[in-house]
Structure 1
Amino acid sequence: MLTSTALAPDGQPFNLAELRNAQGMVVRFMDWGATWISAQIPQADGHLREAILSCGSPERYLQQSAYLGATVGRYANRIRQAYLTALDCQLTRNQGPHQLHGGPEGFSHRRWQQVVHTDKTLVYRLHSADGDQGFPGNLDIELTLTLSDANRLDFCFSAQSDALTPLSLTNHAYFNLDGAQGDIRAHRLALHGSSFQPVDTDGLPDGDCLPVADTAFDFRSPKSLAQDFLADNFQQITGGYDHAFIIDAHTIDQPVATLSAADGRLKMDLFSSEPALQLYTGNYLSGTPASEGEYNNYQGVALEPGYRPDAANDTPLAGCWLPAGEIRQICFGYHFISA
């Protein structure tokens, strides 16, 4: 089990929490960044298989910039020029002239207050003050994590602001469903999105969304990540897949994506209330601290529910804008199925 006597950047200890169900599935979180640090799934042979990448100890998470397992906000993904055109509002930059994942001290770099912890439920809260990373409005968030006996982990955010503000919350776990956790490109993926967002070298929109039909981005039928990897200029710009897919119309009980291990012994269904899903194949993971040593590129795949990059600057205003006083629910879940 992960333990730590080290201190977080605020000078206080990291607080770790564990959820466990009747099937023997175990997930672990820490309050710094509301970070998902482990997901151990029971297999038919009685062994537990780790399903996500981990830095191994809480303090090692401070030595990486890949957002491993972190809860990301106030706006997950990128905002061009770190600027909200609709409000003439300058945000804090942290990726050249742009803002990525909420800024240099976004929610992934904050301590969340743990308010409930039972065997199968964990609740965190966070207050983000007006002007935090440049964003308008005092924002209060409650994150409820629930582990079911069916081996499903659900994230449900409830958020409210006293001023109009963009909001896109996600978790940045990297999945590797293979027991040995090597290269993930032999994983198979089904992703129910009929269009994707081309991006430039900064990961920002380069033109309109395009149909996935007859392209390397067509995952509507399952295929390996390797099958069309780096097959076009869209991917070559980003070193692999790092693109938002527009999710087809669905109900909350229908998976938007299914990821399967290379050996077929574990798969994961992803459910989401959000309109887009960012597929990132770990193109720049090299050097990220692992439990032992460091990760290599393509050793984990992130599937991030949320919005397209720079959707906060769409006109008319996109659904990512949270009006003052409105309570917004954002939910997504991961159902792990062993063969």
Structure 2
Amino acid sequence: MTNYIMKLFGLTTTEEVIESFDLSNKNGMKLTVINYGATVVSLKMPLKTGEVIDVVLGFDNLEAYLKSFQLKSPPYFGATVGRFAGRINNSLFNLNGKAFLLNKNNNNHSLHGGIENFSQKIWTVENWTEGKNPSITLSCLSPKGEENYPGELAVKLTYTISEESELIIEYQASSSEDTIVNLTHHSYFNLDGHKSDILEQELIVNSKRTLETTNENIPTGKFLNIAGSSFDFSSPKKCPSEIDTTFVLDNKEEFAASLFNKNNMLKMTVYTDQPGVHIYVGGNCFNEVKGKENCDYHPLSGICFEAQNFPDAPNHEHFPSSILRKEELYHHKTIYKFQSF
């Protein structure tokens, strides 16, 4: 049995071909990725009951993905985010004594890599493997000076689905000169499918601190202890109706967060080697673009677990460094593990 299928997904406005790639494992887990934005279109999980649930938000066609980036708040459904995930304050950072002013696409700030971001690029499929743990590797080249970032940045991204029902995402990047980089994955998860909200699903975050932010969601540089507060998810709580917060991960050997749906007894656990996980509830399409299954996605349709470095890290010396030196290799691994009870 082959566990890799390639199909035409659509054509861009400039007639470039976008393809979809299906990977499946022996358990019936099925991942669909497109080379537009190296985007996860669907992730289907079989339940103990025999039912299959698509646990990520997305669209049925390329036109909807293209249109979604014209919304007043693009959702970045399932996309690969870069060069820099999150916001950079005033679109400005200093590196090696030189100031770099990036393009502004979020008020006065640069968000998720700016205007020419990785989420809207056409990626190249480098390799795929079949067998027990099928995978696909895609690559992307960001020219020197794109969005005013220094260096030509070469990125490789591998999606793997394991026999243990894990979606494993690994990133590698290298640059022709010193630069900054912060990559993440932007799927919105809903363990109940597309037609419900996430408010009854239970969230745990393995964190004691969050980043304090301004009213424009820019880190101040301070950390907030969250024990006993509304941001304390050390024990299971129902998903909040609003959250857009970076949680500090102090122990990379442990899980970062988990989501559990009592309705169908499906659980997802997030593991990462990154210093933070940014949790965001949203997915609003403002009734302008239809989601999968002809759904109207709204602000409570899904929840993101963006494993990454801290937003605005280049502007805070005490944050983990986001600098990628010319001779170094950026590496980042995140796992979304599923269990059906």
Fold-level match, TM-score > 0.5?
yes
**Structure 1 residue 172: Cα displacement:** 0.4
SS across alignment from 1:60? helix
1:53-93 CA-to-partner distances (Å, cap 9, x unmatched) read 11121221111111000000000000011111343011111
| Range with greater deviation from structure 2 (177-186 or 77-86) | 177-186
Question: Is residue 314 of structure 2 the alignment partner of residue 279 of structure 1?
Answer: no
Q: Does the CA-based 8 Å contact 2:9-2:61 persist in structure 1?
A: no
For the residues of structure 2 that align with 1:27 and 1:283, how far apart are their CA atoms? Answer: 20
Please name the residue that 1:178 is paired with. 192
Q: Is residue 295 of structure 1 aligned with residue 306 of structure 2?
A: no
Which whole-Å deviations, capped at 9, do the CAs of 1:10-55 have from their partners, x for residues lacking one? 4212111011001111010000000000000011122211101111
Q: What CA distance in whole angstroms lies between the structure 1 residues aligned with 2:321 and 2:94? A: 15
Q: Supply the distance in 2 between the matched residues of 1:281 and 1:121 (Cα, whole angstroms).
A: 28
CA displacement at 1:263 relative to structure 2: 1.3
TM-score normalized by the length of structure 1: 0.91
3-state SS, counterpart of residue 97 of structure 1: coil
Q: How many residues align?
A: 325
Distance 1:204 1:157, change over 3 A: same
Q: What is the alpha-carbon distance in structure 1 between the residues aligned to residue 295 and residue 236 of structure 2?
A: 32
Give the equivalent residue in structure 1 for 2:258: 258
TM-score by length of 2: 0.90
Which has the larger displacement, 209-218 or 255-264?
Answer: 255-264
- Distance, in Å, in 2 between the alignment partners of 1:206 and 1:188 is 29
Partner residue in 2 for 1:146: 160
1:325 Cα deviation after fit:
1.4
Do the aligned residues in 2 keep the contact of 1:168 with 1:320 (CA within 8 Å)? yes
More strand by share: 2
Whole-angstrom CA distance in 1 between matches of 2:284 and 2:213: 16
In the TM superposition, what is the alpha-carbon distance from 1:283 to its structure 2 partner? 7.0
Counterpart residue identity of residue 289, structure 1: K
- Aligned 1:36-185 pairs, distance under 5 A: 36-64=40-68, 65-86=74-95, 87-119=98-130, 120-179=134-193, 181-185=195-199
Give the fraction of aligned pairs with identical amino acids, expressed as a percent.
29
- Which shows bigger deviation, 30-39 or 317-326? 317-326
- Residue 204 (1) aligns with residue 215 (2): no
The 1:299–1:144 alpha-carbon spacing in structure 2 relative to 1, beyond 3 Å, is same
Q: 1:90 to 1:192 in 2, by over 3 A?
A: same
Contact 2:276 2:307 in 1 (8 A): yes
SS at match of 1:53: coil
Q: Distance in 2 between matches of 1:264 and 1:46?
A: 11
List gaps (5 residues or longer) in structure 2: 69-73
For the residue of structure 1 that corresponds to 2:301, the secondary structure is coil
Conserved 8 A contact 1:2-1:57: no
Unaligned runs of 5+ in 1: 230-239
Q: Which structure 1 residue ranges, 4+ long, deviate > 6 Å from structure 2? A: none
Alpha-carbon displacement from aligned partner over 1:225-252 (angstroms, at most 9, x marks no partner): 14xx5xxxxxxxxxx200100012132x
Q: Match of 2:332?
A: 330
* Cα RMSD, aligned residues only: 1.9
Secondary structure of residue in 2 paired with 1:88: strand
